[in-house]
Structure 1
Amino acid sequence: MFVHNPVNDKITILIVDDHKLIRDTWSFILNSDPRFQVIAETDSGKDAIGLAENNHPNIVLMDINMSPMNGFEATKEIRKVSPESKIIGVSMHSQPAYAKKMLQVGAMGYITKNSSKEEMIGAISEVAHGNKYICHEVKAILSEQILEDNEKPDINLLSQREIEIIDLIKQGQSSKEIAQQLNITLKTVEVHRHNILKKLNLKNTAALVNFINNAGMA
């Protein structure tokens, strides 16, 4: 690890990553921008805490995948000793759960190692000005998950009668048998079955049976 003397009016940065090539690359990129000054770097979460306490950087770029102390643990400790330092989690993981966990332990931003140079610089600028930042890659995955959740069948859309019919379908009863048991016409059963598939966005009875099993209705 090493420490630079900060330059006035520049956003000071501490880089924490256990790969020297990454630290060297980020240092070169950021020190080439007149707005930034990398004042320290380290490959250790534990050392990062001491560096933050002694130097109070504006920004900490924190790799989350380190050992023995990972980025989550180091972030929590840095927030105690240098609460004014704003932390950006950096990881190879693009799953939103990692970003969420970093924000929960006190980080202000999250980017992946697939993020571009421009996005990293943009993230640092946003966070330095007090804004939270989540990279485009994680946002895109989060949007896909939300859309998928919205497209999932929702049993709450069904009426009580339709749920009764589903219960009989899962027992293997035919439409004729269902009509007899519920004392309704065969045509009414077929209408209910059609409405059930439509409400649940399912194509056929096989898909309905699969949904019943996966939804824990079996």
Structure 2
Amino acid sequence: MNTNVVSSIRVVIADDHRIVRRGLAHILSASPGITVVGEASDYAGITQILREQPCDVLLLDISMPGKDGIEILHLLKKREPMLRIMVLSSHGPEKFAVRALKAGAACYLTKDEAPDELIEAVRVVARGKKYITEGMAESLANHVVDEDDLMPHQTLSDREFQTVRMIASGQTRTEIAQTLSISPKTVSVYRSRVFEKMGIRTNAQLTQYVIKHGLLD
């Protein structure tokens, strides 16, 4: 891993949409001092690139197949604590930003940000600093509230929140267990905790809540 001063910032782009990866690569490669050294569409692809190619900044989509972005963040920071990770998302900061930063992200950007903002964020993160947009700062400020004022889904752990999204997307208990590498019984435990915390009784109610609050892709 590089020191805080790098001659050329080596970036890996992780997104499951090829056209998005290509667009990001075009924007970044056109900027002096930034080199895109790899692209990945899932967690396995990310880990393979990181084994083979030095990386200064990883651009990570929050919505990835199999393991989602938050889980990937946890796994990568455990494997490579010094890896600088920027999260990109089609969701506003109020949806996932706080979770991403707590999981170790150095930045959370929405995909509708201007290219200049993306480039500036990459340069700041490559220097070992966090990059906070105005919208992100407002989201963080709004998060500093009493727990009684939190939305039900904001009280969930990352794994519980991930389970919620997977249930709402129609995945079965067995499918969720396989994706999360846990037992179906553990999935049932998460489901019970979620229902209790959110005051929900059925999967249908859960799905309605998730859709209403825009928690799915």
TM range (shorter): 0.5 to 0.7
Q: Deviations over 1:55-103 (max 9, x none)?
A: 2310000001112111112122222333332000110111335111111
Q: Which residue number in structure 2 is paired with residue 73 of structure 1?
A: 71
Structure 2: give runs of 5+ residues left out of the alignment.
1-5, 150-217
Aligned: 1:127 with 2:130: no
State the 1:140 CA deviation.
Answer: 4.2
Q: Deviations over 1:178-198 (max 9, x none)?
A: xxxxxxxxxxxxxxxxxxxxx
- The correspondence of residues 25-36 of structure 1 with structure 2, limited to 5 A, is 25-36=23-34
Q: Which residue number in structure 2 is paired with residue 14 of structure 1?
A: 12
Q: Which residue number in structure 1 is paired with residue 103 of structure 2?
A: 105
Q: Which residue number in structure 1 is paired with residue 60 of structure 2?
A: 62
Please tell me whether the aligned partners of residues 115 and 137 of structure 1 are also in contact (alpha carbons under 8 angstroms): no
Aligned: 1:89 with 2:87: yes
Give me the TM-score of the superposition, normalised by structure 1. 0.58
Please tell me whether the aligned partners of residues 92 and 110 of structure 2 are also in contact (alpha carbons under 8 angstroms): yes
Please tell me whether the aligned partners of residues 59 and 86 of structure 1 are also in contact (alpha carbons under 8 angstroms): yes
State the 1:9 CA deviation.
Answer: 2.1
- In the alignment, the residues of structure 2 paired with residue 133 and residue 119 of structure 1 have an alpha-carbon distance, to the nearest angstrom, of 10
Distance 1:135 1:45, change over 3 A: farther
Q: Deviations over 1:98-139 (max 9, x none)?
A: 111111111111101111101111111111111111233333
Task: Look at both structures and tell me which one has the larger radius of gyration over its CA atoms.
Answer: 1
Match of 1:75, SS?
helix
Please tell me whether the aligned partners of residues 52 and 81 of structure 1 are also in contact (alpha carbons under 8 angstroms): no
Q: Deviations over 1:25-53 (max 9, x none)?
A: 11111111121000000111232122223
Q: Which residue number in structure 1 is paired with residue 137 of structure 2?
A: 139
Q: Which residue number in structure 1 is paired with residue 115 of structure 2?
A: 117
Share of identical aligned residues, percent? Answer: 28
Q: Which residue number in structure 2 is paired with residue 47 of structure 1?
A: 45
- In the alignment, the residues of structure 2 paired with residue 54 and residue 75 of structure 1 have an alpha-carbon distance, to the nearest angstrom, of 19
Match of 1:38, SS?
strand
| Pairwise CA RMSD | 2.5
Give me the TM-score of the superposition, normalised by structure 2. 0.59
Aligned: 1:23 with 2:18: no
Match of 1:133, SS?
coil
Q: Which residue number in structure 1 is paired with residue 167 of structure 2?
A: none
- In the alignment, the residues of structure 2 paired with residue 135 and residue 89 of structure 1 have an alpha-carbon distance, to the nearest angstrom, of 13
- In the alignment, the residues of structure 1 paired with residue 20 and residue 138 of structure 2 have an alpha-carbon distance, to the nearest angstrom, of 25
Please tell me whether the aligned partners of residues 93 and 110 of structure 2 are also in contact (alpha carbons under 8 angstroms): no
Distance 1:87 1:106, change over 3 A: same
Please tell me whether the aligned partners of residues 93 and 135 of structure 2 are also in contact (alpha carbons under 8 angstroms): no
- In the alignment, the residues of structure 2 paired with residue 51 and residue 82 of structure 1 have an alpha-carbon distance, to the nearest angstrom, of 13
Number of residue pairs matched by the alignment? 142
Match of 2:13, SS?
strand
